[in-house]
Amino acid sequence: MGDQPTSQEFHLPLAQITQTPLDCPLRYLDFSGDYAHLGLEYHGAAPFEDITSCELAPPAREPAAVTTPWCVTMLAPAARLAQLQELLRFFAAHDWSVRAVDTLAQRRDRTVLRFQLDAELEFAAAKHACLQLAEKIDADLVLQPGSSQRVPALAGFDMDSTLIDAEVIDELAKITGIGEQVAAITEAAMRGELDFRQSFKKRMALLRGFSEQRLAEIATQLPLKEGAKELLSALRALGCKTAILSGGFTYFADYLQREQLPVDFVHANQLEFEHGALTGGVIEPIVDGMRKRALLQQMADQMGLDLGQVVAVGDGANDIPMLNLGALGIAIHPKPKVRLEAPQSIERFGLDAALYLFGLNDRQIEELG
């Protein structure tokens, strides 16, 4: 057993945070005005000498209002001072002025810091620079317009590998003994190497004869994605309408809506049966990437919403059109192509981490019940 660590809050100018060579666990950072409040846990000598300090403060009840054109949110599984220092140097090198910082989560296994930035930047180039730094410091860095830091009115979700931790069509193929063949087609389609409509028809033809009884059994066994229930329950409590927009099947999406997740609308592909088994055919229209986008736009129009009130969440290449439609397009555990092309992405946490991009902190999320 080693000595107990010292936990202290340091009061210092934001720029001075980068001036210590010592590294230690980071608990929180809050900044507005002239001084930052930096919560650290360390052994031995203090990281900052001759700096005013006090005991760690409790989490803030509400984050500050966003007043800047851009925000970058850092999500780290076990944040350290060195990660913060790298990020602050990155902002300075790009001449992005940090106007405020809020700690949205300060758990042992999750630190979330939101930086309000006053900067003139080109989004695509800035996003890619953030992705490169994210790999270096082992954290998610999410760039978004400041105006998008709000709860949406409509959220569209992909299903396979987004709301559930599986590709249903691959699971069906495994049972019929053609798993590797179908999975290879699926993977190529999700990477954007095959047209989704063509790949969908190929895979369905291979599943001819699969019984409806087995489909019902599989539906009950599909694992939910980490954080799916928490995110959708929170959105319902906040008054946001949600929709499944899936290149998968209504058979399974309807089951999720009915039994497991608070979802308002379902749009997916219909399975064609004959004598209690799949025919191998498809029923038009196929829900591909462009149809997902069109359906989300249609729902927004019907609800009288502007696209600044709409977000989308997905993981594959056929989600890219809808991810680029509204205020935010969040790729969750995305394929490499999608990570580069989606406006925002989260790789190190579950779906519930999206709530931080809507401007909520842990205390507000907990109060939703």
As annotated, the active-site residues are 158, 160
- Rounded distance between C-alpha atoms, residue 305 and residue 82, angstroms: 42
- What type of residue sits at position 147? S
> What does the CA dihedral 258, 234, 190, 123 come to, rounded to 10 degrees?
150
Structure-token pair, residue 4? 């107990």
Beta bridge partners of 255: none
Which segments of the chain are extended strands (E)? 6-12, 26-32, 35-42, 53-54, 70-76, 97-107, 110-118, 140-145, 154-157, 241-249, 265-269, 273-274, 277-278, 310-314, 328-332, 344-346
Pairing outcome for strands 277-278 and 273-274: antiparallel
Q: Is 320 exposed, middle or buried (0-12, 13-18, 19+ CB in 10 A)?
A: buried
Structure-token pair, residue 181? 């063949």
Q: Is 40 exposed, middle or buried (0-12, 13-18, 19+ CB in 10 A)?
A: buried
